[in-house]
């Protein structure tokens, strides 16, 4: 083998090793008005990132390196505080570790998830934002550099306040999160399990379509692949932004959220209903008597005028 050919082979191997060995950097940005506590869970076979959880005040950012070949998920916990025993508990996205770091544990539902596989098939990165486990706040993933296609190195995520349009039966107490239909009902047709464990039988439902219409660049159910999985050449860095557009109610103290507020009649007991009817009847009777008295008074006045010689016409 000639020297030139050996040089080319060595150079190619160096390029491959450099590309495969390059770490990515996740930059977490909090644009919410409240503090969030990001959590990170590595998939089986992937090394645990450092840290696996941290606090991120509003208006701040933090970079976390990830090795080539890493896969896992990240999310934001909200409403975190210490309970009476000193353990950390969160209103949404709690990983159950009882501490700032999640230590390999997953987010409790509902939680918006950002999922990554770095240097996967053909060395490409795969990433998506998933609502399969529900929603707690908006997340946007942005690869470094320019997009080259609709799902190639393009921004992915859910930037809408899905809590504001969450169906009542999926809404968590206090309105801080929106559960998936699978989590809420556990039926195979919603969970894509059993006879529905393939894309031919597990189809979009009315609930997943609510998610998809609000967040078209996110997974709305398990087989929502064509418009939800994004790819990019390996070696890119990624920015993960919480509340990229505006702060949702889920990060602020909830104010009794409602999907479609409307006026409703109060629900009355039979006794209360009877009492209301009596009041209305009494008021109606009083109104009639008022007109009767006015009529009598007018008649008296007319008689006085006639008796006074003013003349009366009949």
pLDDT at 158: 98
pLDDT at 313: 40
Stretch 134-148: mean pLDDT, rounded? 95
Stretch 255-277: mean pLDDT, rounded? 42
Residues 165, 259 contacting (CB under 8 angstroms): yes
Domain 21-242, second-level architecture: Sandwich (2.60)
In this model, does residue 93 exceed pLDDT 80? yes
In this model, does residue 252 exceed pLDDT 70? no
Q: Binning pLDDT at 50, 70 and 90, where does residue 23 land?
A: confident
In this model, does residue 310 exceed pLDDT 80? no
Instruction: Identify which has the larger pLDDT, 282 or 310.
Output: 282
pLDDT at 250: 41
- Output the CA torsion 222→224→228→234 (10° steps): 60
Give the pLDDT confidence of 107-131 residue by residue, as tens digits. 999 999 999 999 998 999 999 999 9
Stretch 279-292: mean pLDDT, rounded? 54
The mean-pLDDT minimum among 30-39, 250-259, 288-297 falls in 250-259
Residue in 205, 140, 204, 210 with CA at minimum distance from that of residue 171: 210
pLDDT at 148: 85
Give the pLDDT confidence of 201-239 residue by residue, as tens digits. 999 999 999 999 999 999 999 999 888 999 999 999 999
Residue in 80, 146, 82 with CA at minimum distance from that of residue 107: 80
In this model, does residue 1 exceed pLDDT 80? no
C-alpha radius of gyration, the chain, whole number:
32
The mean-pLDDT minimum among 50-64, 284-298, 299-313 falls in 299-313
Residues 6+ apart with CB under 8 A from 89: 80, 81, 82, 83, 98
What distance in Å separates the CA atoms of residue 151 and residue 297, rounded to the nearest whole number?
85
In this model, does residue 5 exceed pLDDT 80? no
Reported as type and span, the H/E element at residue 28 is strand 24-30
pLDDT at 12: 44
State the pairing for strand pair 37-42/71-77: antiparallel
Residues 176, 164 contacting (CB under 8 angstroms): no
What distance in Å separates the CA atoms of residue 24 and residue 37, rounded to the nearest whole number?
21
What is the residue whose two structure tokens read 């393009």? 154
Half-sphere exposure in the Cβ direction for 119 (13 Å, CA): 17
Number of continuous H segments (helices) and E segments (strands) in the chain:
5, 12
């Amino acid at each position: 083998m000639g020297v030139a050919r050996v040089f080319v082979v060595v150079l190619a191997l160096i390029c491959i090793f450099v590309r495969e060995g390059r770490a990515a950097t996740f930059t977490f940005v909090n644009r919410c008005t409240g503090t969030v506590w990001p959590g990170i869970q590595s998939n089986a076979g992937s090394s645990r990132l450092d840290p696996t959880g941290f606090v991120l005040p509003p208006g701040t950012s933090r970079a976390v390196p990830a090795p080539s070949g890493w896969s896992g998920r990240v999310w934001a916990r909200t409403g975190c505080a210490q309970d009476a025993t000193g353990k950390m508990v969160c209103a949404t996205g709690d990983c159950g570790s009882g501490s700032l770091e999640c230590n390999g544990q997953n987010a409790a539902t509902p939680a918006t998830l950002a999922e990554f596989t770095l240097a996967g098939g053909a060395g490409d990165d795969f990433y998506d934002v998933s609502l399969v486990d529900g929603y707690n706040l908006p997340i946007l993933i942005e690869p470094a550099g320019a997009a080259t296609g609709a799902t190639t190195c393009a921004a992915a995520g859910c930037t809408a306040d899905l809590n504001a349009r969450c169906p009542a039966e999926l809404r968590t107490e206090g309105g801080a999160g929106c559960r998936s239909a699978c989590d809420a009902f556990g039926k195979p047709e919603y969970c894509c399990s059993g006879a529905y464990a393939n894309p031919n039988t597990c189809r979009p439902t009315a609930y997943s379509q609510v998610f998809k219409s609000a967040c078209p660049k996110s997974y709305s159910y398990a087989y929502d692949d064509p418009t939800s999985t994004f790819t990019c050449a390996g070696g890119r860095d990624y920015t993960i932004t919480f509340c990229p557009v505006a702060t949702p109610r889920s990060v602020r103290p909830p104010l009794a959220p409602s999907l479609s507020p409307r006026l409703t009649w109060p629900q009355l007991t039979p006794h209360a209903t009877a009492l209301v009817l009596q009041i209305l009847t009494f008021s109606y009777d009083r109104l009639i008597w008022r007109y009767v008295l006015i009529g009598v008074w007018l008649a008296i006045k007319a008689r006085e005028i006639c008796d006074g010689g003013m003349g009366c016409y009949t």
